Structure 1
Amino acid sequence: MRNFVRRNSLHMRTSLIALFACAAFLVAAVTALDPSCVAPNNTIPVWTAAPVFVSSVPNGKLYQAGTGNDTFNVLHLYGTPYQQGYAQGQLLSSTIKGLTNDLVAFIEQEAEQAASWLPVWLIDAVVANGAPFLLELTFNATKPFAPQRYLEEMQGIADGAGVDVKDVQNYNMFPEMTKAACTIVGATGSATSNGKISHLRGLDFTPTCPIASFPQVTIYHDSTPGPVLANVGWTGMVGVLTGLSNTSIGIGEKVWINHPKDIESTYGEPWMFILRDALASANMTQALSRIQNANRTCAIHVGVGDSTTNTFNGLTIAAKAYDVYNWQSLNWTGHPIIQDVFYWDKHVQPSHNPCLGEYLQEFWGNIDAEKLALNIAAPFGTGDMHCVTFDYSTGIAFIANARKPSVTAGTLPAYYRQFTRLDLNALWNLAQ
C-alpha cells in the first residue's frame, strides 16, 4: 500500500477536495413554502456583549467572545508574519500542543470507520500509512507555491508554542484532504433591507471534529500597510475559509462536487492560502485577479463580495478551471434566478432542492445579516460546523460554532446554537 501511495501521490492530491466548504443559506418563513422546507428558526437570544480581555504578549492580544458553552477566541495579531505567529503560539501554547495529535487521531478513527467524507482510496492510504504521512505529503507538494509569509507565520506559531513546525504545517494541510457540503449566499441591492451586501457562509462538516473545541476569530494587523483581516476559523489555522476585511472584501468557500475530471493538481498553493490572498485585496477586481493568477489546486466554489462596488460574485475554480458568475449569469435548471441574490445551497450543484430559493424569495427585500443567521440557517439546516453572516456596510458579524466536544448540553450543529454579534469595525481599529 505504501508503494501505491507514493506512485499515486499526484492522484492523491488531485482527489483532495476542499475541506470546510462554505455553507450559506437564507432565512426561511413558514408560509407558502414547500412542506419539506418548513423547520424552526433559531430563537436563542443573540449574545451582544463585547469580547472580554484575557491576556496579552508582545504583538498579540487574546479576548473571549460569547458566553456559556458558546465562547470563542478573538485573537489580535500585530507585526510581521513571524511575530504574529509567535504571539499566537505564546498565547495559545497549551491548545496548539494538542491540535495535530487530536486531529490525526480523528482522521485515523474516521478512516477505520470508513467515514463518508473520506474517499475510499484515502481511507486505504490512511489505514496503511497513517494520517501524518498524507498530511506531510500534501505540505511537501504545496510548499514551493506557498507565499513565504504563511511559512513564516507557521514557523512562528511552532516556536511560540514550543512544538515541531511539522505539526503546525500538517495541521494546516487538513483542509486540502477533506470534503464538506456548504452554501454560499450574497444578497445586495433590492434584495436587502439597506441595499448593501449581506453574506451568509455556513460550513457543513463533521461537527464532532476535535478542532470544534477551538473556534477563533483572528484579526490580522500587519506591520506593512494594507487591509486588516478578520479570519473566522480555528486556533492555529493560518489560511482563510470565511472572512471579511476592513476594505470590505468578504470571502467564503464551498466544495465543488462532480467537477470535470483532470482539472485539479497536486502542486500549487493551498486553497485556504489563496482565499487569504484574495481577502487582503483592495477591491473586487484585485481579488478576482489574485485568484485567477494563483497556482490553484483543488476544485472549489468561492463567494466573493466587495462593498465598494456593492457586488457579489461566485467562482468555480481549480488548477485548470476559472469561471466567474453573478446573480444573472448563473442560469441553471432548478436554480431560480433571484434579483440581486447570488446563491449556492449545500447540495451538489446544480441543486434541485427548492428550499434555499424559496427562503430567499420569501425574505427578498428585507434580507439582512441577522435574518440570515437566525431565520434561514436553522430552517435550512446548514452550517453544522460554523455559521457566519456579515453585513458589509456596518462590519457587523453574527457567528455561531458547533457544540464543543467537551460539552453535552444543547444542540450539536452551529445553526441551532447561540449566535454572537461582533462589531468587526471595533476589532479592526484596536490599537496595539
Structure 2
Amino acid sequence: MFDCNYFYYIFFGFVLVVQTSLAHKTGILKNVGAFCANDTTRGDPNLIPIDVGQPRFINKVENGTLYQIGSGEDQVWLIHVYGNSGYDFGYAYGTLLRDQIHKVLPRAWAHFEQEIIDALKDLKLPKWFEELIAEKGLPIALDIQNDLVRKYMDEEVYNEMRGIADAAQIDYKTVVRLHMLGEITRGRCSLYGLWGNATLGGKTLQLRALDWDVDGGLQDYPVITIYHPGTSKLGHPFANVAWAGYIGTLTGMSSYRLGISEIGVSFPDDTFGDESMSGLPFIFVERYILQYTETLDDALSFIANVRRTCHLILGVADGKLGTARMIQYSHSKVNFFDDQNLQPLADWHPRIPNAIYSGMDWLCPSRQYKLYRAIVDQYGQITPELSIKNITSVVKTGDLHVGVYDLTDNIMYVANARGTGEQGPMEAYKRQFVKVDLNVEFARTR
C-alpha cells in the first residue's frame, strides 16, 4: 500500500535540505550542524511487550533494600534507600551496589576521559578550561570545576557521595569528578509533555529520551533509586533513573507527580544567553526539582532563581495540574513555554495544542519535525504503550535510556541500551521496557 506519510517525510526532508542550505548561506541557521540537518528517516515500531513483572528481592542492609526488575537481558537494579542524612543514603547504596560500582566506574571514567580529550575543540568549553585539561589532565580540571560549583551545592549531596565512596571502598574524588562530567558532555536528547486532548483519557504524559554515549558501559548496570527521606530537610520521596554510582538526575519522577526531562543544546540561536562554569550543575538542578519542589510553579520558580550554568532545554510536567512546560535555559537567560508560545516557532517545529516538545536540540529541523509528526500522527490516542511503540522508536531517540512517565497514574516505563555481551539491538528505544509502579515503590517501608 502506498504510504502517504512516507512520501511526505521524503518530500519534507528534501525541503529541509534546501532550506538549511539557504539558511547557512544567509546565516539564519549558521549553528545547525550536519547531525541536525540530514536525518529524515523513520525507525520501525517497537513491538516488544512491556515487562510488567514484580520486583524480585535481592538483598537488604540497614537503610537499604535491593531488588531487580525486568527479565532476560533487560534487567534493572531497583534500590530503595532510607535515612536522615545524605550519608545514610550513600552508605546503603554503596553497600548494596559495591560490585556493580567497581565494575562500571573505572571503565566509564576511562572512556569519558579519552572522549573529552579527543573532542576538546567541539565541546565549546572556555579556552582556559580547555588549556587546563590539556596541560593538567581531566581530573585536575574537574576538581577545579567542583571548586567553582561547591558553594551552590547541597552539602547533603556531597555527604551522599562520601557515603557511597566509604561503603563501596572507592576514591571519593573519583565519585565527585564523575558528577562534574555532565556539565561538559550534556548529550543530545528528546522530550515531550502531553496532556488534555493530546492523550487518551486526558492523562499527563512525559518523555525523557537520553541520546548519550553508549560506548562507556553505563548501560551495563542501570539503576533506579527510590529515595525515602526520614526528615523534611531531605525533601520527599523521588525516583532517580541512572547507573551504578551516579546520583545526579537526568531522568526521574517525584512522589508529588512531577517529572523532569533535559536536552543539551549544541545548536542555540541568539535568543539564548551566555554560559558559565560557576553555578549549580544542571543534574542537581533537576534533582532538586524532584526532591524538594511540590508543584510546577515551585519548580519554575526554582529554575528562574537558581544560578544556572549551560545551554539546555528542560521539560517539567505536573500530573496534579495536568500540564507541562518547556524551559529555554542558560546562565543569563531563562524562558518558559507552554503550548501557546512554544519556541522555536518554525515550519519544522509547529505548535501542538496541549503539548510541548523538542527533538534532539534547539535548531535541529529534521529531528524536531520527526517528533512533531510522530505526536500528531498519534494525537488524541497517546498512551505510554503507544509512545513506546510508535513515537520513540519511529523518531529514533533514546540511545542510552528512555523514560516514559504516566504522571496521572504515577507509573514509569524505562528501557536501557544493550549491555556488554548482550544480544539484540543496541538502542534503548528498540529494546524491552519495564514498568515501575511508583505508587507501590514510594510506599515501601524499610
Q: TM-score, normalised by structure 1?
A: 0.88
Which protein has the bigger helix share? 2
Q: Give the Å deviation of 1:34.
A: 1.9
In structure 2, the residue matched to 1:351 is 365
In structure 2, the residue matched to 1:250 is 259
Partners of 1:46 and 1:351 lie apart in 2 by 31
Q: Which has the higher contact order (CA 8 A, sep 6+)?
A: 1
2:196 matches 1:189: yes
* Residue 129 (structure 1) aligned to one of 121, 125, 136: 136
**Contact 2:328/2:336, CA 8 A, preserved across alignment:** yes
Percent sequence identity is 32
Q: Secondary structure at the match of 2:202?
A: coil
* Residue 151 (structure 1) aligned to one of 158, 162, 178: 158
**Contact 2:82/2:229, CA 8 A, preserved across alignment:** yes
Residue by residue over 1:180-206, the C-alpha shift from the partner in whole angstroms, topping out at 9 and shown as x without a partner, is 111110110001002121111100112
Partners of 1:352 and 1:38 lie apart in 2 by 11
After superposition, the Cα gap between the structure-2 partners of 1:351 and 1:101, relative to the gap in structure 1 and judged at 3 Å, is same
Q: Give the Å deviation of 1:179.
A: 3.1
In structure 1, the residue matched to 2:184 is 177
* Residue 399 (structure 1) aligned to one of 402, 409, 414: 414
Q: Secondary structure at the match of 1:69?
A: coil
What amino acid does structure 1 have at the position aligned with 2:400? M
What amino acid does structure 2 have at the position aligned with 1:190? N
* Larger mean Cα displacement after TM superposition, 158-167 or 98-107: 98-107
In structure 2, the residue matched to 1:237 is 246
In structure 1, the residue matched to 2:91 is 86
What amino acid does structure 1 have at the position aligned with 2:9? D
In structure 1, the residue matched to 2:310 is 298
Structure 1, unaligned runs of 5 or more: 1-27
Q: Give the Å deviation of 1:411.
A: 0.8
* Residue 397 (structure 2) aligned to one of 356, 379, 382: 382
**Contact 1:33/1:358, CA 8 A, preserved across alignment:** no
Over the residues paired in the alignment, what is the CA RMSD in angstroms?
A: 2.3
1:102-117 alignment, distance < 5 Å: 102-111=107-116, 114=119
Partners of 1:232 and 1:300 lie apart in 2 by 19
Q: Give the Å deviation of 1:109.
A: 3.1
* Larger mean Cα displacement after TM superposition, 144-153 or 34-43: 34-43
**Contact 1:230/1:245, CA 8 A, preserved across alignment:** yes
Runs of 4+ residues deviating >6 angstroms: 28-32, 120-124
After superposition, the Cα gap between the structure-2 partners of 1:156 and 1:128, relative to the gap in structure 1 and judged at 3 Å, is same
After superposition, the Cα gap between the structure-2 partners of 1:312 and 1:420, relative to the gap in structure 1 and judged at 3 Å, is same
After superposition, the Cα gap between the structure-2 partners of 1:410 and 1:118, relative to the gap in structure 1 and judged at 3 Å, is farther
What amino acid does structure 1 have at the position aligned with 2:363? Q
Residue by residue over 1:29-67, the C-alpha shift from the partner in whole angstroms, topping out at 9 and shown as x without a partner, is 967852445431011121110111110110011111111
After superposition, the Cα gap between the structure-2 partners of 1:310 and 1:52, relative to the gap in structure 1 and judged at 3 Å, is same
1:282-321 alignment, distance < 5 Å: 282-321=294-333
2:241 matches 1:227: no
Partners of 1:413 and 1:395 lie apart in 2 by 25
Partners of 1:371 and 1:377 lie apart in 2 by 10
2:344 matches 1:329: no
Partners of 2:387 and 2:198 lie apart in 1 by 12
Structure 2, unaligned runs of 5 or more: 11-39
Q: Give the Å deviation of 1:110.
A: 2.3
Partners of 1:68 and 1:220 lie apart in 2 by 26
Q: TM-score, normalised by structure 2?
A: 0.85
Q: Give the Å deviation of 1:263.
A: 1.4
Residue by residue over 1:379-427, the C-alpha shift from the partner in whole angstroms, topping out at 9 and shown as x without a partner, is 11100010110111111211100111x2241111101111111111111
In structure 1, the residue matched to 2:436 is 422
2:53 matches 1:49: yes
In structure 1, the residue matched to 2:146 is 139
Paired positions, count = 404
What amino acid does structure 1 have at the position aligned with 2:406? D
Residue by residue over 1:142-181, the C-alpha shift from the partner in whole angstroms, topping out at 9 and shown as x without a partner, is 1121111111111111111122211111111121110311
**Contact 1:106/1:209, CA 8 A, preserved across alignment:** yes
